[in-house]
Structures are given as structure tokens and as C-alpha cells.
Amino acid sequence: MSNTPFASLSGGIPNNAQDFAASIIFTVAFAVLIPICIFRLVVKETRTRILIRPLIFCLTQAVAYGMRAAIANGSTSTGIYEASEILLLAGFSAICEPIPALLTRVAGKYSKGASQHAENRLQQRVLLLCRLAITVALILGIVASTDISANESQSTMNSIKQYRIANAALIIGAISTSAIIAVNLISARLLQIRAVVVLVIQCALLIITAAYKLGSTLDRPANFSRSGKIVFYILTGAVEWLATLIFFAVNINQFFPPRITRASETSIAHEQNDKTIAVSLPGTRDEPSKEYV
């Protein structure tokens, strides 16, 4: 494993001096987020299926960094190394996909204006393409990670490089597009400014990580000296952890309320009309007591 000609995209070969302590720290850090996510999923006010992806991401990253700690502590298993690479590289998609998913539920709201409704439909289609792009990036990440031990030929190394470049480029494109749509939703009054600020911060963090991974792929051989390892843990582990924490720090259902369909809007209107009629009927209002008249 130490003779791997293609430097690992995810921080190089772990060693005890540079990676063991950091891997343990991030194993614990991502594990701490798991009960917080479960709490959000249990509580009715904050429950949403979108949080399942961040939960999966926390699980995969805790396992991945645990594997890196095992390798740094002396394990020579190529299988463990490949598994950690799959979880670190392909697992990144699990924390990126909720971004366009959140915007889809907002852009899908029913709008009375025909032009605004058409624009929302267009945004929904673009967001769907973003989610598909992230799914393709997930597949490419898995392929690129499983080919690590089979990269003796130059053609295989070139294929791995292309897969990883495509993986990072697709994520950068999808997240950047999602951020632009989020800003546009403010003008349509479908999203509050504070929600957009939170989401744009998340997008910026995820783009930073994806750009770092892209740069590490293009920089060959990558710099995995002590300083290079520090940069890896900051721009990958710390940045991803912070982006994940934001999902749990806010009430997603308040910041990104579910879509309002034509049927639900009609139901709400009928309910409001019924209340208005009930108030206007004789004998329904509270009359003053005649006891002291």
C-alpha cells in the first residue's frame, strides 16, 4: 500500500505521527453529531427526511476516520484503506445533496402569478439536474476509490484522475448553481434572507472542500508533508464537520418550509373562510353579561 503510485486524494497514506491523533479527533467529532441529528429526526417540529443524508454522512465519516486511525496505528490492510477512501470521497455527496433538495421544496411552492410559477418550474428542473449531478459524482467517487489498488498502469492512473476531477467538478457546479438559485428565491419572496445566508455559507464551505479535492488531484504528486496533512484535515474534516453542523443547528422546517401545493392552499383558504363565517354568525360572538345591568 505504501508503494501506491497515485497519491491518495484523501490525505495520503495515514501514518502514526501525522494522522493518528487527528483521525481520532474527527472520529469523535462526527460521532458527536449523530445523536444531535437523531434528536432532530425524532422531534416533530424539526423532523424531515432530508436530514437522513447528513446522518448517513456523519456515520460514514466517523467510520472513515476510524479506519484512518487504524491504518495510522499500523494496519496494512488494503481493504480498509480502500473502504476509508470510498467513505471520504464518495460520502461527500451525502452532505451536498441536501442543498438542492432543500431548495426544491421551496421552489416547488405554488405561486399565483403565471410568470413566477413558470420560473419556479424552471428552477425545479435545474435543481433536479443538480441532484442528478451529485449522484453521478457519488458513483464516480466510488469507482475512483475502488481502483486504488489496481493503479499500476498509466492508463488506470489517468482514469482515476479523470474520475476524481469529474467528481469534484460536478459537485462544485451543482452547489454553485444551488447557491445562485437560493439568492434568486429571495426576490420571489419564497425564502427569507437569513435562510439564504445560512445556505450560502454551507455552499461556500462545501465548494472549498471540493476545490481542495480538485486541486489535490491536479497537483501530482500531492503535498502530503506535515503541512499538507494539516491543510487536509482543515479543508476536509473541519470544513465538512462545520457544514454538517449547520444542518442540525437550525430548524430546517422553519428556514425552508415544505412546498404549498394548489390543493393545500385551497384547503387553507376554505378553513380561513369557515372561521370568518363562524365569527360573523349571530350568537357566536361573546356578549356582555347582563348580571350587572
Distance CA 45, CA 49 (A): 13
**Domain span including residue 150:** 16-270
Q: Residue 282 domain-assigned?
A: no
What CATH code is carried by the domain that includes residue 225? Answer: 1.20.1070
In our burial notation (b when 16+ CB lie closer than 10 A, e otherwise), range 202-220 reads bbebbbbbbebbbebbeee
Q: Residue 1 domain-assigned?
A: no
Lowest mean per-residue pLDDT among 44-48, 167-171, 183-187, 256-260 = 256-260
Task: List, for residues 73-86, the tens digit of each pLDDT value.
Answer: 987 777 888 888 88
Task: List, for residues 102-161, the tens digit of each pLDDT value.
Answer: 999 888 665 555 455 566 788 889 999 999 999 999 999 888 887 665 445 677 778 888
- In this prediction, residue 149 carries a pLDDT of 54
- In this prediction, residue 55 carries a pLDDT of 96
How large is the greatest C-alpha to C-alpha distance in the chain, in angstroms? 101
pLDDT > 70 in the chain, percent: 77
Q: Residue 182 domain-assigned?
A: yes
Q: Residue 47 domain-assigned?
A: yes
Q: Residue 103 domain-assigned?
A: yes
Higher pLDDT, 207 or 121: 207
**Residue 174, all three cell numbers:** 451543482
- In this prediction, residue 133 carries a pLDDT of 97
Q: Residue 179 domain-assigned?
A: yes
Mean per-residue pLDDT, 170-181: 96
- The model's pTM is 0.81
Number of domains in the chain: 1
